[in-house]
A and B are shown apart, each in its own frame.
Chain A
Amino acid sequence: MKARIKVMLKNGVLDPQGKAIEGALGTLGFPNVASVRQGKYFEVEIAESDPAKARAAIDEMSKKLLANTVIENYAIELDEK
């Protein structure tokens, strides 16, 4: 089973990298870019057939390592194939 985990900075946490990218897009001639936030994306293959168990394990992994919940939120998507 495959899980996709998206990790984004929480609202209100300064994202200087997103800001720099936003500036670069402006320079490239995209004047209508209102804001850019940068995050992380993970794909985890998990040897588990029970979706509930897989989700619980991925949730634990996200909390313990993939995201730092002081500054980041995460969202899990499970691909049940």
Chain B
Amino acid sequence: MKSAVIVFPGSNRERDMLNALEKITGQKPVAVWHAETELPKVDLVVLPGGFSYGDYLRTGAIAARAQIMADVKKKADAGVHVMGVCNGFQMLCEAGLLPGILMRNNHLKFVCRQVKLEVANAKTAFTNKYKQGEVWRCPVAHGDGNYFTDADTLARLEGDNRVVFRYAEGTNPNGSLNDIAGIMSERGNVMGLMPHPENEIEALNGGTEGRALFESLLEAVA
């Protein structure tokens, strides 16, 4: 599986993502600078975590309008898999590739800890190596992870099984609607999530339960 990670000014999790992709897919991913106009031919495009543009205006808002994003949209429309983690999820929403928005955490504090994630839909390109309803451990680190959208869109997301991950009962760290931690596009090839699976791939760091997400992509794309 060939992959690319886009790097923006203020991204800070791109190295973790590049490392995770290389270790699990066995192929060295390409880092692409945001000012580029065209992505290389890849199976997966990742928007990494961080604080692009210092979170100015709204989180992910400026990055979502970066030069490279036109090609990300084009690739997404063509069916290429796109994943946004944390700040990357915020960018996907701001770019209109996913519905809704990530608002300030309801308690106004930055959260950096482990949460329990429930697999809400195991029949996706991002989750086929998990079991439906499986609960796994994953770290979060964000100030704006409070997923919000209008009632109609929320009903549509739920009705179409487009909620991919939820914070398991009692562990919602930010007040997000319906405990949403990750959602996908109508076609299922674009997915955004607040937690950091790329930081849960090595026993040395406490756990390997995030590996299945990357292995799912390997399975779906290969």
Residues of chain A having any CB pair with chain B under 8 Å: 13-14, 16-17, 20, 64-66, 68, 70-71
Contact = CB atoms under 8 A, between A and B. Distances in A.
A56 B219 CA distance: 48
B108 A71 contact: no
Please name the 7 residue pairs, one residue from A and one from B, whose CB atoms are nearest each other, closest first: A70-B101, A16-B108, A16-B106, A68-B101, A71-B101, A16-B104, A68-B58
A47 B51 CA distance: 32
Main SS at interface, chain B? loop
Nearest to A70: B101
Main SS at interface, chain A? helix
Given A65-B57, A65-B61, A65-B65, A70 B150 contact: yes
Contact of A17 (B58, B108, B150): B108
A71 B57 CA distance: 14
A71 B103 contact: yes
8 contacts: A14-B175, A16-B105, A16-B108, A17-B108, A20-B108, A64-B65, A68-B58, A68-B61
Given A17-B104, A68-B94, A70-B101, 14 more contacts: A13-B103, A13-B148, A14-B103, A14-B175, A16-B104, A16-B106, A16-B107, A17-B108, A20-B108, A64-B65, A68-B58, A68-B101, A70-B149, A71-B101
B26 to A, nearest CB: 39
B100 interface: yes
B107 A71 contact: no
A71 B148 contact: yes
Nearest to B101: A70
Contacts of A68: 58, 61, 94, 101
Given A13-B148, A17-B108, A65-B65, A70 B57 contact: no
Nearest to A40: B57
A61 to B, nearest CB: 11
Nearest to B103: A71
Contacts of A14: 103, 106, 148, 175
A71 B61 CA distance: 14
A43 B50 CA distance: 28
B2 to A, nearest CB: 32
Nearest to A13: B148
